[in-house]
Structure 1
Amino acid sequence: MGISYWWMILGMTLVTYIPRAIPLTFLQGIELPPFLSGILRNIPFAILGALIFPAIFYIQEGDYFFGILGAVAAFGIAYAGANVIFVVLGAIAALAIYSLVLV
């Protein structure tokens, strides 16, 4: 690994670290208004939906039910109020069970 790779890794580290560190440093102890707090709390679900929705209709093997089942499982778990990681893991588990039943 050449020296230029180390500069690239250092640059990527700074670019990803700084946007995360600034709010933690300067907003520590400040309570946000409930409206803004609600919006920020729902951003991960919105991003998850934007990432998953196109993939629902782009299934390689042509089994569209597979994509729809994953979306319904993710939506149901998210609607129940689970954390984003549990939404993802729950959808994966539902699709794994569906795949095992098919085989």
Structure 2
Amino acid sequence: PAVYYRKAAAGKPEDPDPYVRACDCYDADLNIPPLGLLIDFLKTGLQTVKDKQVLYFRLSHLYQLKGDEDLSEFFRRLAQQSGSGNGGGGNGDSGNGGSTKENH
């Protein structure tokens, strides 16, 4: 992910927005930024972001793009579980986005 997103994440480590924005920049046709780096970036965010649900959904989506259905399902379930206990709906629609960028 771009240095900008890393700096933004370092400035507000509890905020999921820099991680989500980095996902929004992903171009599946060019694999930019590289999928593996993007996944690693989101995983580092899980250590500090308070509301992890959106990152879990994004990780699920990225693993699906990578072809790893097991990890995609794992993170999807984590997202649903994290949403059910915080009053945040947990219906799967709030964080699974990212598909708009890949379908351009």
- Shared fold (TM-score, shorter chain, > 0.5): no
Per residue, is there more helix in 1 or in 2?
1
Q: Which has the higher contact order (CA 8 A, sep 6+)?
A: 2
**Under a length normalisation based on structure 2, what TM-score does the superposition of the two structures give?**
0.27
How high is the TM-score relative to the length of structure 1?
Answer: 0.27
Task: Specify the structure having the higher radius of gyration (Cα).
Answer: 1
